[in-house]
Chains A and B, each alone.
Chain A
Amino acid sequence: MEDVFIGMDNDVKLFVKISSDAIVGSNVSLNDSLVKKSGLYSFNVDLGNSNILDNNKLSIGSNFFVSDGNVDSFLRNTSVTCILKFGDDTKEFFCENVKITESFFIAFLVINLIN
């Protein structure tokens, strides 16, 4: 898990961009407390002020469903990019994909926010 230094007194915003031919539903949590659910391929979340986010674990899970067809080929063509903006800084992350069943796979990322 990567530590990300978000500085003091910054508004922190997360942008998620998904590219996939599969149907997607995503969730974003801070310390396992759900802050956003989305069925969109592009969405953003206001995480709040960096002062209150210190030592928070930010986790992003995008769940994908393939009703018929070969899940591996859909997984291979799927990318989920997470962009964290805080103050004037921007940091970009790429989620890792993992196949769960023949119709379901997950792209995930977890990072530790530190100010």
Chain B
Amino acid sequence: MNIYSFFYCLLVSVFCSAQEMSLGDFSMSNNASPAFMLVEESPTAIFVPDNLKALSIYTMDNFGKNLSIELSPYFFINTNKNGRTFYNYIGVDNESDASKRKQHPFSGLNTTTVSFAFVDKEFYGIVGKKKTYSVGLRTTFLRFYNTKKVYDNAKHISDTLAGLVTPSAIMEKGADAIKKYWEVHNDELSIALKPFLKTIKPLFRLDGAVAFSSLFKANTTNSDTAVRFGSWLTAQGSMIINEGSDSNYNNYFNVLFTARYIDDGFNSYSNNDYFKLHYLDFGGKIALDYNNFTFGYEFISRNGSINSSRSVGSIAFSISTDITITGGFGKDFSTTNENLLTVFGINWGLNFGKKSISLY
């Protein structure tokens, strides 16, 4: 077991034991955590997580070398707090009178995440693979929903849920009997809940992230380190393009903009001659969610110590809730001829948890 696998296991063990959880409690995927984005280990450089509700530990695994964990403290802190409601969580008032119904744009702060990453990879401009760790923080500063859509949908779901009655004779027998009862009546459950599995995205959201990364120059933990720091804002506007259709999915057209500052110490002329570069990146992305596909194209202009650009197309396909295939292809920031970026990732879940793998 290498040092990164050890750190990963240690982190997961700490969180699991602290919260009396099993690894299977966590959802994992190869989403772009800030810790990974700073060390360029994601198919996309412009990303906001759609799944706002997720308690998440995300992992990405380049055959055991590159790993990332992202978690939402909201789900670990003050778990006994009373007075929770879906409406408080999503930031839309539970108010039937639309003229009095308000939304709370800062409710997305609940979704703040902390991420950690360990990578062993070749960075552009540095000879050989370097062991690197990274820490990131991400939050949603602002989000605005279509309040009528959120409220009406929630009320419709509540009415449906209230009509799902478990017989008392089954309840008397306990949790296992209830599970078995709804396994037998799965058709009734599926038909009742299927209309509500569509994702409702905010019309607009603004995310912010900061990340810090440290590279071990001699690949040992007691060697000197080079540092990279980044902070960025990402805005996303989303519009449903199949409103009212019978599709199982809400298909969205998304437009994203990003601005970020990077203080990059991961540059060297030789093994010990590291130096810093500073960049300001501005970019945009269009992405189309079509059923279980997402197609995207992003362009980022880099200005500062060097001027460059990144132009990448990406695709993601969800085979099921547990398996997603992602890929990216295009031109990376590198100013040399070696600027072709190809990324392919497979993400799947197993009974003991979920694991993801990436092939470069």
- Using CB atoms and an 8 Å cutoff, list the residues of chain A in contact with chain B: 1, 17, 19-27, 29, 31-32, 34, 37-39, 41, 57, 59, 61, 63-70, 72-74, 76-79, 96, 98-104, 106, 108-110
Contact = CB atoms under 8 A, between A and B. Distances in A.
B84 A72 contact: no
Interface residues of B, number: 53
B178 A37 contact: no
B158 A25 contact: yes
Nearest to B57: A70
Contacts of B165: 27, 29, 34, 61
Given A61-B171, A68-B51, A98-B179, A76 B162 contact: no
Q: Which 10 A-B pairs have the closest CB atoms?
A: A25-B161, A69-B53, A39-B158, A25-B162, A73-B55, A59-B168, A37-B162, A98-B175, A63-B161, A21-B89
B86 A22 contact: yes
B84 A20 contact: yes
A23 B90 CA distance: 11
A68 B199 contact: yes
Nearest to A31: B168
A21 B25 contact: no
B244 interface: no
A37 to B, nearest CB: 4
B50 interface: yes
A72 B162 CA distance: 21
Interface string B301-324: 000000000000000000001000
B189 interface: yes
Contact of A108 (B50, B56, B171): B171
Given A24-B86, A25-B159, A69 B51 contact: yes
Contacts of A1: 172
Interface in B33-77: 50-56, 72, 75
Nearest to B166: A61
Contact of A21 (B53, B80, B175): B53
Interface in B154-169: 154-155, 157-169
Interface string B237-259: 00000000000000000000000
Contacts of B158: 23-25, 39
A25 to B, nearest CB: 3
A70 B182 contact: no
A72 B72 CA distance: 13
Nearest to B176: A98
Contacts of A61: 164-166, 171
A64 B196 CA distance: 12
Contact of B162 (A26, A69, A99, A109): A26
A39 B193 CA distance: 15
A17 to B, nearest CB: 8
A61 B164 CA distance: 9
B171 A25 contact: no
Nearest to A112: B172
Contacts of B350: none
A99 B22 CA distance: 15
Contacts of A102: 321
Contact of B189 (A72, A74, A101): A101
A73 B51 CA distance: 13
